Structure 1
Amino acid sequence: MRLSSFFFKKALLFTIVLSFITCSICAQQLETIDEGPKKFEYKYKENDSYRILSTVEEDVFVNGTKHHSAEIVNRISVKVHDVNEEKMTAINEGTFMTTENSVMAFQANTKTFSYGEEYKSTFTKDRFGVYTIDDNFFMPTVRDVPVFPDKELSYGDEWTYVGHEAHDLRRSFGLQKPYKVPFTAKYKYFGVFEDKNTEDGSIKKLDLFQVYYELSYTMDTSKLAISVMETPYKTTGFSSQLIFWDNDRGTIDHYIESFRIEINTTAGNIFTFVGNAHAEVTEFERTATVENVEDVTQKIADLGLEDVSVKQTEKGLTLSIENIQFKPDSDILLLSEKKKLDKLKDILSAYPNNDLLVTGHTALRGTAESRQELSEQRAEAVANYLVQIGVRDNYHIFTQGKGAEEPIATNQTEAGRKKNRRVEITIMD
């Protein structure tokens, strides 16, 4: 059987959004406090910005044989606006990005994540967590989780609410609107969990909820494109999640997950996904402001750094390191460039809640393929060094290569080519 890489990509995305954790005994094993009844609802503020970063680790089996393991990182950045104080609803504009490291059963893993494809979405959420979203948008995939009842909840209270998943089957199966899969989620409230910060010893009180639902549905294959050769027609499994809720902020603080999903296709193949996940939700500072450009520009001057500039971009605040030096035709940083990155550490560390995107660029030399590969490798080299010196961990820094597609100077002169050989570090919004 020939395995379609695109099918796997779609199936993996499908699994990411299905993943939900841990059985009730895990929640019961956590020490919690009964603080009496309280009301739970989302709280929205105009121009709020937040980011969700989730990591999924899973094993993928084909017809009972392990095919590969995957580590998947999902980054979602959202801006809140048009808050209706009376109805307590808000419009959320989000950018969704998914990137994956797939490791075959016989390979070793790496920890570098390239910046994946982006998806835009706009949706409204009310104070209970219910979505209103147009069928033109395919993200987020899991909707109406968690949803709270309009009443106070006490320790041990349970409730249910219908949610759904919206899957993007445009390229693989010819469906032009999200394929919606309904489910009924079961909720239970476990009281207050005291989350201790291991670095400074501070304690944050978070409310603990368990969410669990099962999947069992069959796709209506009559709606698929005639040319489709293999279709996932039956899906079964479970997903369960522990949600740690910050009731002061009115939002999720973090959550953890486990899942098992089995997909049967019309070709007789069985794809099984088993794994776990965790995610963090953080507020972050909008970096791409005139004030920040001026401030960082002055800091660069004070550090005596040459060939380094800063500008506002669509993704955030971008530091451009021109004429960055590597060993000839390689991705090995020279010592002089490492010292330059050492000096930039304090600037980058001033925005601890913002992810970093490292982008490599080359001059117009060699083939398009070799330029693309070299730009990716050099971005990874810079990112790895930033991880090494403690600027970020592996899960909060991403890389991409642009080859020679975005020159900032002419490639007809050596001076211009030096400018085009650059690496950009974006402090992401």
Structure 2
Amino acid sequence: MNKEFTKSKQIICFFLFFSVFMIANAERFTFKYNEGDSYRVLSSVHENVYFNGLFSHHAEIVNRISVKVGAVDDEWAEHDTVFMISESSSDRSGNPVFTWGEEYRSIFKRNKFGKYDIGDEYFMPVVRDVPIFPDKDLKPGDTWTASGEEAHDLRRGFALETPFKVPIRVQYTYVGPESINGKILHKILAKYTMNFINKQRPVDLTIDYPYITLGFANQTIYWNLENGAIEFYDEEFRIVIETVSGMTSVFEGTAHAEIADLIRVKPEIVVSEVQNQLKDLGIDNTNVVATEKGITISIENIQFKADSAVLEESEKRKLEKIAKILAMYPDNDLLVSGHTALAGSVYSRQQLSEQRAQAVASYLIELGVKDAYHIFSKGFGAEQPIAENSTEAGRSRNRRVEITILN
């Protein structure tokens, strides 16, 4: 009797201890917002693309997202965001160089549980209402489901003027805390499938349009409880879009994203500092200005071999000196912009400006200023002159490369 009573007592004590342990390890997950906060998200996507069952190409895409938090109340926070989508090409050594592509600005609200309030005029972000948290404490092993959506920009391919939205139902599992790089992060799994039939018809019935969307996404989210934000996540995905005419497009691959503080440089201070450093290093034909994107160093009359994107050795020495200045801003990404004088065709000018920007970006990567995922290039042809093209002196100034220390 006493033995059985003791056993019963031990069992009761165990369950009491287990219950207290589980309660102690239960966590409440919510997004935390502070007005004026700024941060950036850098995500990379590796995907294979197939058309009508045949392999088309492999794409490596980097998305750079700058976020500024606006007004905040007890439930919602305004977000002003700029999404930059870039895709890689390769330099002469076969290394990736990411070309600054399309930019999207989106303004929306998001509440503390992760729900979006966003208008149809905005095409980004693609995945919305993920993650969504329940209004209760969660302990390891808990699961829940919530609705979300994917919103795709199909203006170019199908002339759709608003985002093409695919509803999703997401299954979540809170795995538990893990120690990663000295931080306690909370692992959450988010999985969903897509099986959507589009019942909307375009006004012009002769235009092909997406009819069936199938696929899945599996995300592993690492949540920073103290910050009330995602620290980073990994994803694998597959999306199949079939049009009403039977054409199919398949996108499958992996993605990784991480969040970092947005280091905003103080324009008046940095411009003066960089100007003084350029002078001390004896670098001529350069100018420094504050722009909306950051601080821009303009290298005028930059010398390449004739009608090419091959840097002259003298310009490499100049870039080596500028690299010392750029190294002082290790937390800021760089944008290298190429510009030409008004000569040749529009197409040839655009190509040359892109190639020269890529050449400078590649050399900065070679010098170790940044890796390829933090330097972007873009060509503008002759669309942004800073001097008259009617004189040789003006054309020399317009043949320039600009390096922007990005906010």
TM-score (norm 2): 0.88
Alpha-carbon RMSD:
2.1
Match of 2:176 in 1: 191
**Alpha-carbon distance, 1:288 to partner:** 5.8
Tell me which moved more, 285-294 or 230-239. 285-294
Instruction: Give the distance between the partners of 2:367 and 2:202, measured in 1 at CA.
Output: 53
Tell me which moved more, 406-415 or 168-177. 168-177
Match of 1:40 in 2: 29
Tell me which moved more, 251-260 or 209-218. 251-260
Matching residue's letter, 1:161: A
Q: Which has the higher contact order (CA 8 A, sep 6+)?
A: 1
Instruction: Give the distance between the partners of 1:298 and 1:248, measured in 2 at CA.
Output: 41
Matching residue's letter, 2:83: F
Match of 2:291 in 1: 313
- Aligned mate of 2:185, from 188, 195, 206: 206
**Alpha-carbon distance, 1:390 to partner:** 0.9
Matching residue's letter, 1:36: N
Instruction: Give the distance between the partners of 2:69 and 2:193, measured in 1 at CA.
Output: 31
Instruction: Give the distance between the partners of 2:128 and 2:406, measured in 1 at CA.
Output: 25
Match of 2:372 in 1: 394
Match of 1:236 in 2: 214
Match of 2:16 in 1: none
Match of 2:79 in 1: 92
**Alpha-carbon distance, 1:366 to partner:** 2.4
**Alpha-carbon distance, 1:221 to partner:** 4.4
Structure 2: state its 5+ residue gaps: 1-22
Task: Write the mapping of 1:7-26 to structure 2, written as runs, cut at 5 A.
Answer: none
Larger Rg: 2
**Alpha-carbon distance, 1:261 to partner:** 1.9
Tell me which moved more, 261-270 or 398-407. 261-270
Match of 2:257 in 1: 279
Q: What's the CA shift string for 1:265-315, capped at 9, x where partnerless?
A: 222233222211111111121236222222222222232221222111122
Match of 2:162 in 1: 177
Instruction: Give the distance between the partners of 1:397 and 1:249, measured in 2 at CA.
Output: 28
The answer on 1:141 being equivalent to 2:132 is: no
TM-score (norm 1): 0.84
- Aligned mate of 1:247, from 207, 213, 225: 225
Contact preservation (8 Å) 1:358, 1:382: yes
State percent identity of aligned pairs: 50
The answer on 1:119 being equivalent to 2:117 is: no
**Residue 283 and residue 224 in structure 1: after superposition, are their counterparts in 2 closer, same or farther (change >3 A)?**
farther
Contact preservation (8 Å) 1:296, 1:310: yes
**Alpha-carbon distance, 1:126 to partner:** 1.3
Contact preservation (8 Å) 1:356, 1:426: yes
Contact preservation (8 Å) 1:308, 1:320: yes
Instruction: Give the distance between the partners of 1:269 and 1:342, measured in 2 at CA.
Output: 50
The answer on 1:154 being equivalent to 2:154 is: no
Instruction: Give the distance between the partners of 2:202 and 2:396, measured in 1 at CA.
Output: 54
SS in 2 for 1:281: strand
Matching residue's letter, 2:132: V
SS in 2 for 1:392: coil
The answer on 1:348 being equivalent to 2:337 is: no
The answer on 1:225 being equivalent to 2:211 is: no
Contact preservation (8 Å) 1:409, 1:419: yes
Contact preservation (8 Å) 1:221, 1:231: no
Instruction: Give the distance between the partners of 2:154 and 2:126, measured in 1 at CA.
Output: 12
Match of 1:410 in 2: 388
For these two proteins, the number of residue pairs brought into alignment is 383
Structure 1: state its 5+ residue gaps: 1-33, 197-202
Matching residue's letter, 1:65: L
**Alpha-carbon distance, 1:262 to partner:** 2.0
Match of 1:66 in 2: 55
**Residue 380 and residue 95 in structure 1: after superposition, are their counterparts in 2 closer, same or farther (change >3 A)?**
same
Instruction: Give the distance between the partners of 2:312 and 2:94, measured in 1 at CA.
Output: 26
Instruction: Give the distance between the partners of 2:297 and 2:332, measured in 1 at CA.
Output: 14
Matching residue's letter, 1:41: T
Contact preservation (8 Å) 2:357, 2:378: yes
